[in-house]
Amino acid sequence: MADSPKIIINFKTYSESSGEKAKQLAIHAEEVHDLSGVDIAIAPQAVDLKAIRDVVNIPVYAQHIDPISPGNSTGLYLPEALMEAGINGTLINHSEKPLKLAAIDEIIEITKKYDLTSILCSNNIRTSAACAALNPDFIAIEPPALIASGYAVSQCEPEIVSNTIAAVHEINDSIPVLCGAGITNGDDVKAALDLGAEGVLLASGVVKAEDSKAVLEDLVSKI
């Protein structure tokens, strides 16, 4: 059974969300979830997954998994090893880690086999429609130009969100759509939900904030 995150924090590779700081951010996310009841999931770097799994119970996702079986590969992320580290799911095809169609398809098969939540990222409306044919648990539309811009896709380019939802649902109306890029506050989240998105995916707004916990509290405040 897939999770139903309203907010996913992608820790990316920022120094503010690596190592000990990653653990602290994860704890803050869990505290805000506990107080608000809003489902929050986090996607830390692979090296931090195990340490974070040991301190929080909220869903923890990999930022990427490789479509490989145990054996002689080097420098890749083995799904079974990430599961042992405690992941509940994975981002797939983030615009900062783009994949070929065949690899995406294989990864989604792996997530289904192991009951992991699949968040398939797309960069525009056309690719979102193509993603729908692969039947992930979620599609997350993130226009690359707005990533880390501070300009929220839900407020600055709302038609990208609503047209993506329409395009995805024309193929498969049971796939929930998330949106991300530039989301930084509760109004951005509310705008996304008002457009029909199930939730949001964000990074810099929380990770780079001076007071990440205050930002997390603001993000859930209008849900």
Ligand X SMILES: O=C(CO)COP(=O)(O)O
User: Residues within the annotated binding site for substrate?
Assistant: 10-12, 147, 182, 203-204
Interaction of residue 219 with ligand X, rule CB under 6 A: no
The single residue among 22, 26, 179, 201 that binds ligand X, judged by CB under 6 A, is 201
Please say whether the beta carbons of 188 and 197 come within 8 A.
no
- Number of C-beta neighbours around residue 75 at 10 A: 5
User: Least distance to ligand X from the beta carbon of 69, Å?
Assistant: 27
Contact string 27-66 vs ligand X (x = CB under 6 A): ----------------------------------------
Binding mask 143-162 for ligand X (x = CB under 6 A): ----xx--------------
CB 83 within 8 A of CB 114: yes
Give strand pairing partners of 40.
7
Residue range at the interface with ligand X (CB under 6 A); choices 20-28, 72-80, 99-107, 140-148 = 140-148
Reply yes or no on whether 217 is catalytic: no
- Using CB under 6 A as the binding criterion, the count of chain residues that bind ligand X stands at 14
* Binding test (CB under 6 A) with ligand X, winner from 175, 202, 215, 216: 202
When CB distances to ligand X are compared, the closest residue is 204
> Which residues have C-beta within 8 Å of that of residue 52, sequence separation ≥ 6?
22, 23, 26, 42, 44, 60
Residue 132: φ, ψ to 5°? -60, -30
Of 32, 27, 21, 22, the C-alpha closest to 7 is 32
SS (H, E, C) 154-209: HHHCHHHHHHHHHHHHHHCCCCCEEEECCCCCHHHHHHHHHCCCCEEEECHHHHCC
- Is there a catalytic annotation at residue 80? no
Q: Which of 204, 215, 216, 218 touches ligand X by CB under 6 A?
A: 204
**Residue with the two structure tokens 């199930």:** 198
Task: Give the nearer residue to ligand X in terms of CB position, either 68 or 217.
Answer: 217
Q: Of 36, 31, 27, nearest to 55 (Cα)?
A: 27
Choice from 10, 93, 117, 212 touching ligand X (CB under 6 A):
10
User: What residues make contact with ligand X under the rule CB under 6 A?
Assistant: 10, 94, 142, 147-148, 180-183, 201-205
